[in-house]
Structure 1
Amino acid sequence: MLPKVDLSDIAEELSRLGDEIQRAYDDSEQTVEPAPQVPLSGLAQLLDTVRASEAESRGESAQALRAATGAEPDALIDHGLGLLRQIAEVARRLNLKLQAQAVEVLAVPFACWMLRRGCELQHPEEVVNALATLANQLEQPDELAELYGLMGEIAEGIGADRVQGMDPTDPTDPWLVLLINRGIVATRSHEPVLMEEAFDAIGEQLPDHAPYFFREGMGQMEALDYPPHVREVMQRYFDKWCSGQRLH
């Protein structure tokens, strides 16, 4: 199930997970720093500040955030993601793997909320990883189509400098990973329109990776018995990118 892009839902889930992490911390004999209450309290305060600063437009929201915090909105989104990372790391040190993962995926609704209110995502690594985690958890095409929409918001919200600085030779580059994973999610959504949008972006921005992606995609068509209308789209892009000289 996808988390809602809603601060109240994020805060409620954070409170639930925080209680579980705090109980494990209190019962643990090992020393874990920082104490979970430190980043949990920091993030709760940030969410309250962001909620209080919401305005009718993106520009007004960004201006209200600056006035309330004295910081740029881009720095606030980084700060929030950093606090989520700290909470997840504490949970992992307490052997709470499921809780750690649940905290990490909150990066997606938090980032989308902030992007909708005038922020730009300069450091997308945690959010891209969280999107991949969610994709692995979902099976229904309609949920995957909804996730595709969130992936699009993240893609649009990543700073232009970060995109231009992408290293196409690095398979862990977050922009590369996001585009490839978005293509996979579009395919699993069974929505041709989403597939074409995602596939065109791969071809335009990752031309060296496109032949491999579409060869792998055609293999998955048979292995996972995709419906004909999905196969038709994949076949079309396979023919475009994996025929003649493009195959070599």
Structure 2
Amino acid sequence: MNFLEFNHAQYRDTFNEAVADLSLSLTLDESQQAQHALQGIGAMQGYIDIMRRLDSDREQGNVSRSDATDASQIGDMMLQLLDELGHVAVSRGLTETMHQMHRLSLPVALWIVQHEGTIERLDIIVNAVASFANNVKGQEQLTALCHVITQVQSAVSETIRRDLEVSDPMRPWRILNLNWGIIATRTLSPQLMESVFDQLIDAIPIDAKAFFQEGMQQMDIVGYPDSVRAVMARYNNLLGASGSLH
């Protein structure tokens, strides 16, 4: 399955395959937690059907005023369920299942974007981006992932985008944008780097200066080409000692 797009049939098959071991573990357990998790798996399957019906209505031009709101709510519930199932999986020693739950959040986020909804739950999506970034190979895949993050970033709720908890270095909004900048750098595309860096400065102005400073250190460690080094150096110089653009 291509995790960077949403296809109902493929998503259902991938989800069912991903939770197969977890489902078996849960069916052998009569605890309340196990039964609740099994209900969560069933709920996910139900939401996939709802998504398919909403997409079918949209393709036929039957878009209601509540479409974006419905997509936001459905997507949020799915992200919550995936997060919960991931926690249950890792508690049972199924670490790879947890990672699969994380990765399955990214197509859901894209579905929310396609329906002009709002993303209110970012933690699991950040985990998904990190998982993909650690596994994708080649500039083409990195570029595709970078464009996906661009879409996700644009749909994040205004509450999260205000980024008020600046004292927390692990806040999802900060991590998402830093990873966005790192992945853009790894594409080796000066044009893409410039586009992402401009948006990164607006999104996390307090953290941007340190990002470019650390980026310059990585230029020598990794051995980036001169074209990439030039972009990083220019943004590092533009921010200056004050941490903001002149």
Scaled by the length of structure 1, the TM-score of the pair is 0.86
* RMSD (CA atoms): 2.6
- Counting matched residue pairs gives 241
Paired residue for 1:231? 229
Give the whole-Å Cα distance in 1 for the aligned partners of 2:64 and 2:132: 28
TM-fit CA distance, 1:116: 0.5
Give the whole-Å Cα distance in 1 for the aligned partners of 2:64 and 2:110: 14
TM-fit CA distance, 1:140: 1.8
The answer to whether the Cα contact below 8 Å between 2:161 and 2:173 also exists between their aligned partners in 1 is yes
Aligned to 2:19, the other structure's residue is in SS state: helix
Paired residue for 1:135? 133
Instruction: Identify if the C-alpha distance between structure 1 residues 5 and 240 changes in structure 2 by more than 3 Å, giving closer, same or farther.
Output: same
TM-fit CA distance, 1:165: 4.6
TM-fit CA distance, 1:11: 1.1
The runs of at least 4 aligned residues of structure 1 exceeding 6 Å deviation read none
Letter in 2 for 1:162: I
2:111 to 106, 110, 113: 113
Paired residue for 1:197? 195
Paired residue for 2:213? 215
TM-fit CA distance, 1:39: 1.0
Give the whole-Å Cα distance in 2 for the aligned partners of 1:225 and 1:132: 22
**1:181-232 Cα shifts (integer Å, max 9, x gaps):** 1001100111112111111122233332222111110111111111221111
Paired residue for 2:12? 11
The answer to whether the Cα contact below 8 Å between 2:116 and 2:155 also exists between their aligned partners in 1 is no
Scaled by the length of structure 2, the TM-score of the pair is 0.87
TM-fit CA distance, 1:138: 2.2
Instruction: Identify if the C-alpha distance between structure 1 residues 12 and 125 changes in structure 2 by more than 3 Å, giving closer, same or farther.
Output: same
- Does residue 1:75 correspond to 2:73, yes or no? yes
Paired residue for 1:20? 21
Aligned to 1:171, the other structure's residue is in SS state: coil
Instruction: Identify if the C-alpha distance between structure 1 residues 11 and 192 changes in structure 2 by more than 3 Å, giving closer, same or farther.
Output: same
Give the whole-Å Cα distance in 2 for the aligned partners of 1:114 and 1:210: 28
**1:100-150 Cα shifts (integer Å, max 9, x gaps):** 111111111111112211321122222122212221222322111111111
Instruction: Identify if the C-alpha distance between structure 1 residues 130 and 136 changes in structure 2 by more than 3 Å, giving closer, same or farther.
Output: same
Paired residue for 1:149? 147
TM-fit CA distance, 1:246: 5.1
Any unmatched runs of 5+ in structure 1? none
